[in-house]
Amino acid sequence: MSSSNLAESRTGYWQEFGERWNEFWFAPADPLPLGIIRVFVGLCWLLYLVILTPDLAAWFSAGGLVPRDLFQRLVLDGGGVNEFAYWSIFSQLGSSGAVLGVHVVFMVVAVLLVIGCFSRTAAAVSLFALLQYVHRAPFVTAQAEPVLAFMLLYLFIGPCGATLSLDAWRRRKPGSSLLAAEPRWDARVALRLMQVHLAAFYLMMAISKLHGDVWWRGEAIWAMMAMVHSRLFDWSAFRDHPYLINFWTHAIVLFELTFAALIWPRMTRPLVLAVGIIIWLSLLPLSGAIVFCLLMIVANAAFVPGEWWQRWLGRFSAAQA
């Protein structure tokens, strides 16, 4: 092959790569999946706030279990971090009544996100609100907060109020559907960011489990069953079924380890999504991590194409009519 032909071949390769890259990230996409995800992420965010409400004064008020001077010693001084990195509006409030007032405002914002009123603004304010709780009491956070944070961020980036929202209802023309919206490039960017981030999140969860002996021995599910303070039901009857517990434990690790590879091919994607729903619904009553398990199911919806949602919701609307 001559040098000119080789140069042309390389140019053609990089040109094709660039076209596929641009198509992957920026080809206009149906905003409907973002609208559906917004509704359910908003409901999970609202549930998160409701769960926090009974212990609000204990964890976030100045006179609670962790007053500001103790927080300074434990987190800021002990961790050697800058105070600005953990700035929270709750650290500036004195009374539990003021904390409750701000908490109620954040709950109202969560409702606005669910119904799609000023959707992107509500997503941005919700992300800001979540960080206020995390920065004031990072020691009571768990797995749900990271997932909730990146989902809210990507909802803000994308047109999450283009469908199934009050925003869409105000803008729509007479006779048009709340499900229909023009394909947009920023919808593609937001969905791709969710997908890539979620695939990486699954891989990190799998790698962290491979560092734990309880997962290698197949006993992690039993460990969750034995945690009486977090489980939703009594699972003690399963102690007589060690093979089931071992299979369940290793199936979770295998699913998380292979998710990032198997979720992208169209042939394996439906199976991966179905297995994911089963796994997260099974972990919900075991772990008691209600918001986290529900969020993971909702996040998986980023891989469901808009055409499927249009067909399914279109049939549902026709049946209701």
Listing DSSP states for 236-279 in one string gives GGGGG-HHHHHHHHHHHHHHHHHHHHHSSSTTTHHHHHHHHHHH
Looking at residue 5, what is its pLDDT?
A: 61
Tokens 């102690």 found at: 239
Token representation of residue 41: 């992420």
Mean pLDDT, the chain cut into blocks of 10 residues (321 residues total): 58 79 91 95 97 90 79 66 74 85 96 96 97 88 92 96 90 73 92 97 93 86 80 76 89 94 95 95 89 96 90 62 44
Alpha-carbon dihedral sign for residues 135, 138, 144, 150: positive
- Rounded to the nearest 10°, the torsion over CA 35, 36, 37, 43 is 110
CB 186 within 8 A of CB 158: yes
**Rg (Cα) of the chain, in Å, rounded?**
23
Residue count of the chain, please give it.
321
Token representation of residue 144: 């749900």
**Per-residue DSSP letter, 12:** H
184 in helix, strand or coil? strand
Identify the CA nearest to 51 among candidates 129, 103, 116. 103
Identify the CA nearest to 45 among candidates 119, 106, 91, 97. 106
CB 130 within 8 A of CB 149: yes
Looking at residue 319, what is its pLDDT?
A: 46
Distances (CA, A) of 182 to 24, 156, 213: 18, 18, 50
Q: Where are the domains of the chain?
A: 29-164+184-320
Neighbours of 144 (CB within 10 A): 22
